[in-house]
């Protein structure tokens, strides 16, 4: 997953919630570490102005619990940890997302270079009419 | 000396921001803090929000305006809850004493000439109208506190002009009553003057004493979520001296103005 080009921001806006929940599932962590994990996973740079309001919504909804811990040699950090409710939301949303992305990937597969090669056997019959029309 | 005063003023201006968010640009932090205050967010929540910005800026190395954008917009996006102290009802409780103080000042000023001439107090319709207008203005301020505070903070000079104009409008009927022969100058109430003067002065002094209580001068300070290393006891910080000084000046302004205006009207009446 190359991220030479940043992802379109409205795509990221839709998927950020489930991605942040996924990062939190690995254990209590704090804002900057979450942005680092997202970047490492190929999702590009997430700004503080985008992330922290999201985390605040999680806190208000009861999906995370928070705790302030002194930082190592630097300013203190606010740690976020998933609650049971948060975990349930994560499972639901990630299952939804996987189904959604499978459907959309199959839908647009022909338009991408190399797409026809990957999905030719499976999709040529399904989308035969679409091909003919194009 | 001026440069030294200006230097000290600059050092004190960002005292809170520098203490709680040393890695963040001071003006960004000040705008952020101000917007949260205007929203009525409590000191604890503000301290946490500011500390989180500081932590992120320190570790990421990106400046606050790049990582968080416009400070006021970011403050609004957090949707932090209003604190108990800042809620509308307590603001009302805060402003009511000042309304009483204003009424006391008006009573003192209007009764002083009568006491000076050892006459009875004769209140004209003009004066009663002025008092009614004054009460109406104060009630309006209580009702629409937030927009008024926002306007004053964003446009201080215009706000000052508007308040001067408002005072002129309120005082005008009583002045008009003195100079012309309209309804406003006709007597409405006739009573003994000294009790009115005493009551007015007492009201002003009581409210001033109330406002000068030590607990009144330090209201919901912004506190950091963790005690700073080497900063001594717990979370409560001493209110910066600049804030306290301003509060004292405000508390004393009405009594001082009352004394001055009573003296002037007394002198004018006995001339």
Q: How many domains, chain B?
A: 2
Asked if residue B261 and residue B182 are part of one domain, the reply reads yes
Q: What is the pLDDT of residues B134-156, one digit of tens each?
A: 778 777 776 676 677 777 777 77
- C-alpha–C-alpha distance, residues B58 and B65, integer Å: 13
User: What integer pLDDT is reported at residue B237 of this predicted model?
Assistant: 46
By mean pLDDT, which of B79-83, B171-175, B253-257 is the weakest? Answer: B171-175
CA distance A84 to chain B (A): 23
Give the residue extent of every domain in chain A.
Answer: 9-133
The answer to whether residues B197 and B116 touch, using CB atoms and an 8 Å cutoff, is no
The answer to whether residues B244 and B218 touch, using CB atoms and an 8 Å cutoff, is yes
Q: What is the pLDDT of residues B107-132, one digit of tens each?
A: 888 888 888 888 888 777 777 777 78
pTM: 0.61
Mean pLDDT (chain B, rounded): 78
The answer to whether residues B173 and B137 touch, using CB atoms and an 8 Å cutoff, is no
- Cβ–Cβ below 8 Å for A76 and B55: yes
The answer to whether residues B256 and B212 touch, using CB atoms and an 8 Å cutoff, is no
Consecutive 10-residue runs of chain A (134 residues): their mean pLDDT?
69 91 95 94 91 95 93 83 95 95 88 55 46 46
Question: Residue B8's domain spans which residues?
Answer: 2-78
Asked if residue B92 and residue B73 are part of one domain, the reply reads no
- Cβ–Cβ below 8 Å for A47 and B23: no
Q: Which has the higher per-residue pLDDT, B220 or A9?
A: A9
Contact B56/A at CB under 8 A = yes
Q: What is the pLDDT of residues B46-79, one digit of tens each?
A: 999 999 999 999 999 999 999 999 999 999 999 8
Q: Parallel, antiparallel, or unpaired: how do β-strands B187-192 and B120-124 relate?
A: antiparallel
Asked if residue B93 and residue B73 are part of one domain, the reply reads no
- C-alpha–C-alpha distance, residues B87 and B83, integer Å: 6
Contact B17/A at CB under 8 A = no
**Residue at which a domain ends, from B78, B107, B135:** B78
Most confident of B96-105, B173-182, B230-239: B96-105
At residue A129, φ and ψ (nearest 5 deg) are -60, -40
| pLDDT higher than 90, residue B244 | no
- Confidence band of B217 (pLDDT split at 50, 70, 90): low
B209, two tokens: 């004493």
- Confidence band of B236 (pLDDT split at 50, 70, 90): very low
User: What integer pLDDT is reported at residue B231 of this predicted model?
Assistant: 40
What kind of architecture, by CATH, is found in domain A9-133?
Orthogonal Bundle (1.10)
- Cβ–Cβ below 8 Å for B79 and A49: no
Ramachandran area for residue B270 (φ above 0: left; ψ -120 to 50: alpha; else beta): alpha
Asked if residue B219 and residue B93 are part of one domain, the reply reads yes
Most confident of A70-84, B29-43, B67-81, B92-106: B67-81
The torsion of the CA quartet B55, B59, B60, B62, rounded to 10 degrees, works out to 70
Strands (E), chain A: 29-30, 64-69, 77-82
> Chain A 75-94, CB below 8 Å of chain B: which residues?
75-78
């Amino acid at each position: 997953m190359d991220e030479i080009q940043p992802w379109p921001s409205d795509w990221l806006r839709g998927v950020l919630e489930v991605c942040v929940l996924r990062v939190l599932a690995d254990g209590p962590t704090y804002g900057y570490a979450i942005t680092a994990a997202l970047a490492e996973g190929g999702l590009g740079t997430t700004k503080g102005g985008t992330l922290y309001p999201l985390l605040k919504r999680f806190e208000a909804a009861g999906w995370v619990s928070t705790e302030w811990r002194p930082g190592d040699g630097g300013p203190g950090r606010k740690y976020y940890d998933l609650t049971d409710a948060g975990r349930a939301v994560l499972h639901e949303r990630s299952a939804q997302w996987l189904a959604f992305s499978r459907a959309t990937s199959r839908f647009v597969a022909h338009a991408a270079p190399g797409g026809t090669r990957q999905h030719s056997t499976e999709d040529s019959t399904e989308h035969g009419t679409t091909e003919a029309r194009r | 000396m001026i440069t030294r005063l200006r230097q000290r003023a600059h050092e004190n201006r960002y005292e809170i921001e520098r203490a709680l968010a040393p890695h963040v640009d001071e003006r960004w932090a000040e705008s952020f803090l101000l917007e949260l205050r205007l929203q009525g967010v409590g000191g604890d929540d503000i301290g946490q929000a500011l500390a989180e910005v500081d932590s992120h800026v320190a570790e990421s190395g990106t400046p606050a305006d790049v990582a968080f954008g416009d400070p006021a917009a970011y403050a609004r996006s957090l949707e932090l809850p209003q604190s108990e102290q800042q809620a509308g009802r307590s603001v009302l409780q805060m402003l009511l004493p000042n309304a009483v103080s204003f009424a006391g000042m008006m009573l003192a000023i209007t009764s002083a000439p009568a006491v000076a001439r050892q006459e009875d107090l004769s209140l004209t319709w003009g004066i009663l109208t002025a008092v009614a207008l004054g009460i109406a203005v104060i009630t309006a301020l209580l009702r629409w506190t937030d927009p008024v505070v926002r306007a004053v903070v964003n446009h201080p000079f215009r706000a000052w002009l508007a308040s001067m104009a408002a005072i002129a409008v309120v005082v005008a009927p009583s002045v008009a009553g003195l100079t012309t022969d309209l309804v406003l100058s006709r007597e409405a109430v006739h009573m003994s003057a000294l009790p009115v003067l005493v009551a007015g002065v007492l009201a002003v002094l009581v409210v001033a004493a109330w406002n000068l209580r030590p607990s009144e001068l330090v209201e919901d300070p912004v506190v950091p979520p963790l005690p700073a290393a080497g900063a001594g006891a717990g979370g409560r910080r001493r209110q910066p001296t600049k804030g306290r000084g301003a509060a004292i000046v405000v508390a004393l302004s009405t009594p001082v103005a009352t004394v001055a205006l009573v003296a002037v009207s007394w002198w004018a009446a006995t001339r």
